[in-house]
Amino acid sequence: MQTLGINIGSTSLKMVLFDSGKAVWCGSGIHEGDFSAAAKKLLEEGNIPVGIKTLATGNEGRSMFSVAGTLEPLCVEAALSNLKIDADAVVSMGGEDLIVYTLDKGKIINNFSGNKCASGTGEFLKQQLARMDMKLEDIDNIPESAKVYPISTRCSVFMKSDCTHKLNKREATKFDIVFSLSHVMAVKVIDFLKRAKVTSGKVVLTGGITRNRHIVRFIKEGAPDIEFIIPDEAPVFEALGAAVLAKKFGSDLPDTEKLVKSGEVRFETLGSLKDWQSKVRTFEKPEGKVEAGRKYILGVDGGSTTTKVCLVDMQTDEITASHYGRTHGDPVKALKECLKVISDKIHADTGTYDIDISLVATTGSSREILGVFLETKGIYNEIIAHAMGTTYFDADVETIFEVGGQDAKYVLLKNGVPIDYAMNEACSAGTGSFLEESAAGDLSIHSAKDIGPIALDANAPCKFGEHCSAFINSDIRKAVQQGAGRENITAGIVCSIVSNYLNRVVGNRTIGAKIFLQGGVAKNPSVPLAFAMLLNKEILVPPSPELMGCFGVALLAKRKYADGLLAQQNIVIDDVINREIGYERVFVCQACENLCPIQVLNVNNSKYMFGGRCNMYTNMRKQVKDIPVFDCRKTPENVV
């Protein structure tokens, strides 16, 4: 007798066709909240006949299917019994959940699960891979020479920041980061096993993540006294159990069209964003033309997810060329790509590539490495750069909200001078990357440009609350599963990041009367509306809000030059595009117990040292033009 087991996970749908005591077909696919399409595809793939006994499992999702349902632990027990595995524990490593079941004679006696934290789950790994332009399949090609670096394991949001900073500071490669994330996931599994007091015996690993050989290796290395078993059916383990139980507890499989029920939305809702249009004022200023014979300033803002560059006329302060590109973990490559676009614009406007770029300045999280690459001393922090950019458009601005890819800032100004500020030091809540990742992952909105128009069509945005952005993914999935419209979920995510920003970055700080919203996220037309709605205040958006950092740092360079604090340079863009940065050796700084790895870089035959938790090497770069390379272990007195 054929039976079918269905497991509806938070990210994927799994099916097992069972006959004569064993699985005869297994299938799985990502559902992205569209259960009907995912189920139809799998049923066709497995050639599953209508009417066979079917049983569904999976926390939220099983109630969405018009077949009998059961609990996951019962399916785990049934699968173990079917495969005749006698184990002490089962680890279920799902897309969004990590659960350890402890067993006694094949029956579950306890379970240990994460508190809705996305850290250490497959979904989190997938999001991080996408950030680095990689897919799950690419993991198998990671060279064995990749290294594991210590990264924060408290929360996926902190981990994300840690990974980005390591990539931007060149302390690790993409492969090292994937290795390190795999290690974090393995450590989490081992921690859960320890909490469950399982330190020896047999443990079954299940879930799609068992296909990641590095995670499996790290788990085995971290718990050498445990014998780990990974059955062939590990990725569809609960679905196998459901198929086993379906003979007794299943119901007839209906036609595909009738398999998935339409849901009922249980989230509170907010008002339409469109109603706040009169409270948002956007400045418009088209980009100018580059003219031969004039002097220019190159302003560079190297952010964690995006790199922004603009060419500013030194006399008129007009932006004459600009580009905004993805950093993809390689700030130098991202800068070169921006410079190619700027170079093309220079050529298109003037017919020559040769103009007088007299000043160069950098800001943003990659400002140090980009400053070294551009051989400029004009390296300034983002707070001052953004304040310079904004006050250029309105000297009376009192508050700046800056929402970038992974950074969010708040600046309070008095008479144009920053008097208070806050940044999201270690937390990504309330930033654009969360907005983009959530929209891409769960709603299949793959272009950030599409988020705004979709959100503006919402008549009742879902209220997802103010908790940590890593948890909001679960809410989004619930809303999808409950059948909330794409527009209302998208607008709900927008309101959620704004709410997170206001609560986590601004907190109880003063918000002045004149508020500017800038950063790449301000280009999304729904975001200023959400700020206006949640604050009930007018929001001003400067022209090219994503360029305020690079524009501001260019203006700052001009002022520093006028004050005699920055020397003129003569930058030839095409020379910079062709310039290489050499990543030479890494040594361990032994000046204190932190033992930081320090990377030696070579730019135009000058050596620079990068890395470290403290500012020691940053300060050295600023004081000494051509630093001799030495090893702290041999000459520690040179360091201190």
Footprint of ligand SF4 (CB under 6 A)? 589, 591-592, 594-596, 612-614, 616
Tell me the closest approach of the beta carbon of residue 607 to ligand SF4, in angstroms: 16
Q: Toward ligand SF4, which CB reaches closer, 292 or 592?
A: 592
Q: Which is nearer to ligand SF4, 189 or 596 (CB)?
A: 596
CB closer to ligand SF4, 85 vs 639: 639
148 φψ region: left (φ > 0), alpha (ψ -120 to 50), beta (else): beta
Question: Could you tell me the smallest distance in angstroms from the CB atom of residue 594 to ligand SF4?
Answer: 4
Tokens representing 568 are 């003129």
Pick the closer one to ligand SF4 by CB: 296 or 617.
617
Of 380 and 617, which CB lies nearer to ligand SF4 in the complex structure? 617
For residues 277 and 615, which CB has a smaller minimum distance to ligand SF4 in the complex? 615
**Residue closest to ligand SF4 when measured from CB atoms:** 612
Residues with Cβ within 8 Å of 403's Cβ and at least 6 positions away in sequence, in order, are: 430, 431, 432, 497, 501, 517, 518, 519, 520, 521, 522, 527
Quick one: 209 or 589, whose CB is closer to ligand SF4? 589
Cβ 620 to ligand SF4, closest distance in Å?
A: 10
Residues for the chain: how many in total? 640
Smallest separation, CB 595 to ligand SF4 (Å): 6
Beta bridge partners of 251: 54
Q: Measured from the CB atom, is 292 or 614 closer to ligand SF4?
A: 614
Query: Least distance to ligand SF4 from the beta carbon of 149, Å?
Result: 14
Nearest alpha-carbon partner for 15 in 257, 262, 256: 256
CB of 591 to ligand SF4, least distance (A): 4
What is the closest distance, in whole angstroms, from the C-beta atom of residue 617 to ligand SF4 in the complex? 6
Strand order of the β-sheet with 356-363 is: 319-326, 306-313, 295-302, 356-363
What secondary structure does DSSP assign to 213-236, as a single string?
Answer: HHHHHHHHHH-TTEEEE--TTGGG
Please give the span between the terminal C-alpha atoms of the chain, in angstroms, as a whole number.
Answer: 77
User: Over the range 235-246, which residues count as b (16 or more CB within 10 Å of their CB) and which as e?
Assistant: bbbbbbbbbbbb
Q: Which residue has the tokens 């527009």?
A: 487
Residue with Cβ nearer ligand SF4 (348 or 595) = 595
CA distance 98 to 177: 21
Say which residues have a Cβ less than 8 Å from residue 312's Cβ, sequence separation at least 6.
296, 297, 298, 299, 318, 319, 320, 551, 554, 555, 558
* 3-state class (DSSP) for residue 329: coil
Query: Which one, of 309, 377, 375, lies nearest residue 549 by Cα?
Result: 309
Least spacing, CB of residue 613 vs ligand SF4, in Å: 4
Minimum distance from residue 156 beta carbon to ligand SF4 (Å): 26
